C-alpha cells in the first residue's frame, strides 16, 4: 500500500463522527494496521513504555492498556517485566490481533466515554496512547479510567495538540485535580507521534498519580 493510501486510512479514523464510524474504520484497517502505521513511523505505543517504566514498579499489579488496538505496547511492557496486562478497545478485530500476542490476560471490547466493565480501584495504572486524538475518545473518558485505577496508582496517556488547544481536555484534567482525584506528576514537551508522516501533528504525554 502506498503512503497516500495509508494516509487515507488514518484520515478516515480521524474523521469519524461517532463510535460506529470509528469502529468500522478500525475493523477495515485491523489486518494492515501494524505494518502501515509503522511504515508511517508511528511511535506512541512504544514511547509510552518509557513513562510506565519510570513511574510504575513492575510488581505494582495489573495495568490497563486503554484503547490498546492491536496491542503493540504489550510485548514491550512484558519484556520490561510487566506481566499482568489488560486491554480495552472499541474494535473486536483489533482485539483479536492483540490476543494473538499472548501478553494480555484480560481483553474486553468497550467504548471509552461509557461505563467500563471493571470495579473501582482495580488497576495499578492505566496507559493510553493515540486514543485522545481527533475523532476518538472524549475527555469524559478520564472519569471512568480514574475510577477503576486505585489510589497511589498512575494515569499515563498522550493527548493530541489540537485537543489541548480546545477546552474539554484541559478543563477535565484541571477538574480532576480540583476534585482531589489525581495530581500531576509529569507533563512532557510536545513530540511527533509519527516520525515519517504528519509533521504538523504533535502529542504531549501526561502522568498523574491517582489520589
If you count DSSP H runs as helices and E runs as strands, how many of each does the chain have, helices first?
8, 7
Query: What are the pLDDT digits (tens) for 45-99?
Result: 999 999 999 999 999 999 999 999 999 999 999 999 999 999 999 999 999 999 9
What would the DSSP string read from start to end of 25-63? Answer: HHHHHHHHHHHHHHHTTB-HHHHHHHHHHHHS-TTS--E
- pLDDT (average), residues 114-141: 95
Share of the chain above pLDDT 90, in %: 77
Which pairing describes strands 182-187 and 149-160: parallel, antiparallel, or unpaired? Answer: unpaired
C-alpha to C-alpha distance for 27 and 9, rounded to whole angstroms: 11
Q: How much is the pTM?
A: 0.88
What is the phi/psi pair of residue 169, to 5°? Answer: -70, -50
- Supply the pLDDT for residue 209: 98
Q: Which three cell numbers stand for residue 107?
A: 481483553
42 Rama sector, left if φ>0, alpha if ψ -120 to 50, beta otherwise: beta
Neighbours of 187 (CB within 10 A): 12
- Supply the pLDDT for residue 1: 47
C-alpha to C-alpha distance for 16 and 116, rounded to whole angstroms: 22
CATH architecture of 3-210: 3-Layer(aba) Sandwich (3.40)
Which among 135, 200, 108 has a CA at the least distance from the CA of 161?
A: 200
Amino acid at each position: 500500500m502506498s503512503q497516500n493510501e495509508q494516509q487515507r486510512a488514518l484520515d478516515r479514523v480521524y474523521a469519524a463522527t461517532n463510535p460506529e464510524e470509528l469502529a468500522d474504520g478500525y475493523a477495515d484497517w485491523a489486518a494492515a494496521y501494524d505494518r502501515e502505521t509503522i511504515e508511517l513511523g508511528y511511535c506512541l505505543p512504544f514511547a509510552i513504555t518509557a513513562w510506565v517504566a519510570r513511574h510504575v514498579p513492575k510488581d505494582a499489579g495489573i495495568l490497563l492498556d486503554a484503547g490498546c488496538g492491536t496491542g503493540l505496547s504489550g510485548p514491550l511492557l512484558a519484556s520490561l517485566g510487566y506481566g499482568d496486562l489488560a486491554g480495552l478497545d472499541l474494535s473486536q478485530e483489533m482485539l483479536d490481533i492483540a490476543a494473538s500476542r499472548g501478553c494480555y490476560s484480560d481483553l474486553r471490547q468497550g467504548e471509552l466515554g461509557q461505563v467500563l466493565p471493571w470495579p473501582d480501584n482495580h488497576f495499578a495504572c492505566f496507559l493510553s496512547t493515540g486514543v485522545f486524538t481527533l475523532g476518538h475518545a472524549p475527555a469524559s473518558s478520564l472519569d471512568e479510567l480514574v475510577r477503576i485505577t486505585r489510589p497511589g496508582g498512575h494515569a499515563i496517556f498522550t493527548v493530541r495538540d489540537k485537543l489541548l488547544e480546545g477546552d474539554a481536555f484541559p478543563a477535565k484534567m484541571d477538574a480532576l485535580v480540583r476534585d482531589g482525584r489525581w495530581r500531576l506528576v509529569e507533563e512532557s514537551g510536545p513530540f511527533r507521534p509519527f516520525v515519517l508522516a504528519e509533521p504538523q501533528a504533535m502529542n504531549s504525554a501526561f502522568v498523574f498519580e491517582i489520589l
